[in-house]
Amino acid sequence: MPDSKFQQFLTRENAAVVLVDHQVGLYSGVRDTGLLELKHNVVSLARAAQVLRLPTVVTTTAADSMWGPLIPELTKVLPQGTDVIDRSTVNAWHDSRVHDRIKATGRKKLIFTGISLEVCAALPAIAAAAEGYDSYVAVDASGTFSDTKRETGIVRLQQAGVIVSDYATLMVEILADNAAPEAGETYEALDMAFAVLVGQISAAYSRQS
């Protein structure tokens, strides 16, 4: 078995997702990417995680005061009754409820996203890595308030040994087999433009033949 986390693949059995501070107030300050694309990516990640039955931990900061509730697009796709942990700590890993819930998943590979990238996603990912977890950050399902923050945040993640990737690659890696019964639903959840187009072409070809 590979002895480096950089060589070990994500699976349905070893991975969990942690969504940090995807809140209305924080989204209003995002400047490094388009809001529609950012919302699309985090919602698609959350939907695919459900198809693949990945444990998902959701947390906010000061939702009743500073930063507001989860964005409605994300709330809509989360399973009914999802317990969102609202906290005061800057680093989500330092809230015992968040830490304990992640630990209770039994998963050692953690996929983080957050607003902002360099704080809400990066800090818990780095803290988790320091405790022996394999941390990943889906950068295109995270956002921040300037290009400089994005660039320096990614550098810091890499310096700390956190694996940086994109939302669709992480989920497809977990899917692993395009012949799996969940493959179609997974790609539908990911909602990648080219995959949708290929599906339409394939369906049209099937009708003709």
The string of DSSP letters for 79-104 reads PTT---EEE--SSGGGSHHHHHHHHH
Query: Which residues belong to the active site?
Result: 120
pLDDT by 10-residue block (mean), the chain, 209 residues: 79 98 98 97 98 98 96 96 97 98 98 98 98 98 98 98 97 96 93 63 50
Residue 6 placed within a domain: no
Residue 3 placed within a domain: no
Residue 2 placed within a domain: no
CATH number of the domain residue 68 falls in: 3.40.50.850
Residue 4 placed within a domain: no
Residue 5 placed within a domain: no
Containing structural domain, residue 88: 11-208
Residue 157 placed within a domain: yes
Number of domains the chain is built from: 1
Distance CA 52, CA 30 (A): 29
Residue 1 placed within a domain: no
Residue 122 placed within a domain: yes
pLDDT of 194: 65
